[in-house]
């Protein structure tokens, strides 16, 4: 039996981020995060997401013996491979929000909702679906 290749920093961060998504469902009793949400970048307003990341990292370290913090630091130095997609989704989500509420700024709309992440989650899900549909159409035309 051969040994598995060591995981890259990006793989470790992605796995812990996926685990944090599951933790959020337990900690937040039904709270969800939008597709592409980076739990390791959650700020003080997103305390559930920060706590989900902390606990996911703790569990991951206990199971694998991997230093998640070291992997995260190295990963951030390398650059995030999904940052371009996340930025594209953010741009699409802002456009959708502006189309639905032409008289208001998307940031102002988010501030009116508690928690604002729920409204924004819907726009990001729509953006991801639109992006996926476009990619599928482009692949079919190729």
DSSP state of 46: G
Distance CA 39, CA 19 (A): 10
pTM: 0.56
Distance CA 21, CA 31 (A): 9
Per-residue pLDDT tens for 41-73?
888 778 888 889 999 999 999 999 999 999 888
Tell me the domain boundaries of the chain.
7-80, 82-142
Beta carbons of 92 and 55 less than 8 angstroms apart? no
Per-residue pLDDT tens for 9-47?
888 999 999 999 988 887 766 677 887 888 888 887 788
């Amino acid at each position: 039996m051969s040994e598995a290749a060591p995981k890259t920093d990006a793989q470790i961060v992605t796995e812990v981020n996926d685990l944090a998504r599951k933790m959020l469902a337990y900690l937040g009793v039904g709270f969800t995060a939008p597709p592409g949400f980076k739990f390791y970048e959650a700020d003080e307003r997103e305390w559930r997401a920060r706590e989900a990341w902390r606990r996911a990292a703790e569990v991951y370290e206990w199971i694998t013996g991997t230093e998640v913090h070291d992997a995260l630091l190295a990963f951030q130095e390398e650059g995030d491979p999904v940052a371009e997609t996340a930025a594209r989704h953010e741009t699409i989500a802002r456009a959708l929000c502006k189309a639905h509420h032409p008289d208001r700024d998307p940031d102002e709309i988010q501030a009116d909702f508690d928690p604002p992440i729920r409204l924004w989650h819907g726009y990001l899900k729509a953006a991801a679906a639109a992006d996926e549909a476009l990619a599928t159409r482009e692949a079919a035309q190729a």
